[in-house]
Amino acid sequence: MPISERASKRALGKRAVALVAAVSSVVLLAAGAPAASPHRSGDWATWSKDAAGSRYAAAEWRITPRNVHNLKVKWAFAFPESSAPVRSQPAVVDGVAYFGGPDGRFYARDAGTGAERWTTDLSGVVPGARPSIPWDSPSVSGGRVYFGDLRGFVYSLDQGTGRVVWAKQVDAHPAATVTSSPIVHDGKVYVGTSSGENANNSPDGSTDDPNYPCCTFRGHVDALDARTGGLVWRHYTVPEPRAVGTWPSGATRYEPSGAGVWSSPVVDPHSGTVYVGTGQNYTGSAGDFDTMLALDHRTGAVKWRNQVTKADTWRGLCNSPDPEGYCPGLKDGSALDYDIGATPNLFTVGGRRLVGVGQKLGVYHVFDAATGEVVWRRQLGVPLPSGGISGIQWGTSFDGRRLYIATYFADPGKLFAVDPATGRVLWETPNPADGCTTGGAAAHPEICSLGHGPAVTSSPGVVWEGSNDGKMRAYSARDGRVLWTYDTVRDFTGVNGLPGRGGTISGGGGGAVVADGMVYVQAGYAPDYPNPGGGDVLLAFGL
């Protein structure tokens, strides 16, 4: 075929693809889905796919319900062996996948082949006692890559070279951490800060010390200047902790504290509003804990707040053999821990702008986006004693027609399709019962469970969700049938030459990423399956 003819056919093909994407966009906007981002339609540039938190790959036309069963691993990337779990969901932009590793490095790899573009070692950027582990998903915007780390820093890297443009510590507390994936809008980087101070009774959350004067961390949402990293505004979720007495051990007691911001904010550019959820108190009972916040994107001023749990004071000692005195909300042997750890969804129903969010209690809440008025609520998971691990953990998806919501340790976890107008359950599919008796998980019944930790993702006709049983699954968006299953609990050799093995599909802030005919999945989150001599893996699937 002559070169000119080949070029003509390629151009025709590109025009056809563009037409398909344009038609898809028109249909989605009519159905109430968010408007397109400034990126290519096939890109997945931020944790939630777009500013509205849809986690919906609207332009995906290659992978369909009819051919999804043909997906195969195209390449694997194996991380060096590490005690930290993998949790940095990739961003995929202009044919490059950007992601962090538990080894303290940040990677840019060819999205189709896994070939190296660049690698940045973060360990020497700002030396410190805790490692510089990327702890969330990056956002790619304006030629920069933005992400946070385990020790409370936010970074901006050059998209083309990986050069560190700036690194800013958003919180100097020894236990501060950034699990909130940043979102970029109007020249600002919006990001939340949480901490590990609640996990145990110690400054950095690594040990259990009854003599530690707990607790002093305050959650907050920040707007940083995207160019310089300078702080534009900050909203603290609790008042400044003050000494109010002593613990049973004699250590000083501080209240209130906590209300960390675990998840990524979303932004409505039309109203200029940032929406984000918060976690529970560590001590005391005050502030914006377990709250949906609507903040002015220019100033951080509160437009409205809706607190969905009226008392929720919890930390690791609530699960100790003798928690009395440490957990004032403890009743009948149970405390709460009902964070809003999930990222919200913005959508429109009947001309009314709504914002919805899942809670670890197992409830999905929907509010009027302008006023905060409750529109509907739906209980999808039954809470377990002393910890909301049976509810909705990290995030949900909206495809313009349905909300897709998963529950975690709900015996078993389930995947739901829900009517966005009323909360009516359209279908529900339990984590398949053979999840722990087939594949690599079958050898580890003491580890395996039927729960959905990751955020839910959708693409036209397909819903994507992984499980603690180490399996990634594709479900029919129409009726919830399982269309494809891949067991990741097996050995891989990475394109980087290292051995790796999959495991629990990454929770802790991530889920499947669907971009340009490929699906990207991090495998190896806690609970860990035995993996002697190897690390966790990023898997890239294609047809």
Share of the chain above pLDDT 90, in %: 73
DSSP 386: S
Residues 283-306, mean pLDDT to the nearest whole number:
97
- pLDDT given for residue 2 in this prediction: 32
- Give the model's pLDDT for residue 387: 66
Tokens coding 67:
């051919």
pLDDT of residue 334: 60
pLDDT at 208: 66
What pLDDT score does 518 carry? 98
pLDDT > 60? residue 224: yes
Number of structural domains (the chain) is 1
Position 95 scores a pLDDT of 97
Site of tokens 């560190």: 164
Q: Is 7 within a domain?
A: no
Q: What is the pLDDT of residue 206?
A: 61
Full-model pTM: 0.91
Q: Is the pLDDT of residue 226 over 80?
A: yes
Q: For residue 509, what pLDDT is reported?
A: 66
Mind listing the pLDDT tens digit for each residue in 410-435? 889 999 999 999 999 999 999 999 99
Q: What tokens were used for 10? A: 């390629």
- Mean per-residue pLDDT for 129-153? 93
| pLDDT tens, residue by residue, 305-343 | 999 998 888 888 777 766 666 776 565 556 688 999 999
The answer as to whether 151 is a domain residue is yes
1 — pLDDT class (breaks 50, 70, 90): very low
Asked if residue 20 belongs to a domain, the reply is: no
Question: What does each C-alpha distance from 105 to 44, 96, 124, 534 come to in angstroms?
Answer: 21, 16, 10, 17
Mean pLDDT score, 127-136: 84
Lowest mean pLDDT among 162-176, 204-218, 452-466: 204-218
What DSSP assignment string belongs to 261-273?
A: --S--EEETTTTE
Mean pLDDT of 41-57: 96
CATH code for position 438: 2.140.10.10
Please report whether residue 326 resides in a domain: no
- The verdict on residue 9 lying in a domain is no
Average pLDDT, the chain: 89
pLDDT of 25 higher than 80: no
Per-residue pLDDT for 12 more than 60?
A: no
Decide if pLDDT at 6 tops 60.
no
Confidence of residue 28 (pLDDT cuts 50, 70, 90): very low
Q: What was the pLDDT predicted at 22?
A: 37
pLDDT the model gives residue 211: 78
Q: How much is the average pLDDT of 256-285?
A: 96
Mean pLDDT in residue range 361-388: 90
Burial of 70 per CB tally in 10 Å (0-12, 13-18, 19+): exposed
Q: pLDDT class for 464, splitting at 50, 70, 90?
A: very high
Residue 2 lies in a domain: no
Q: Is 46 contained in some domain?
A: yes
Range of the domain at 438: 32-318+337-542
The CA-atom distances, in angstroms, between 367 and each of 249, 296, 323, 360, 475 are 43, 17, 36, 17, 28
Q: What pLDDT sits at residue 367?
A: 98
461 pLDDT band, cuts 50/70/90, is very high
539 vs 86, higher pLDDT:
539
Judge contact between 480 and 427, C-beta under 8 A. Answer: yes
Identify the pLDDT of residue 65.
98
Q: Is 14 helix (H, G, I), strand (E, B) or coil?
A: helix
* Residue-level pLDDT at 382: 82
User: Which of 360, 315, 452, 458 has its CA nearest to residue 400?
Assistant: 458
Choose between 146 and 34: higher pLDDT.
146
Q: How many Å separate Cα 464 from the centre of its chain? A: 14
Whether residue 18 lies inside any domain: the answer is no
Banded pLDDT at 32 (limits 50, 70, 90):
very low
Of 282-286, 516-520, 526-530, minimum mean pLDDT range: 526-530
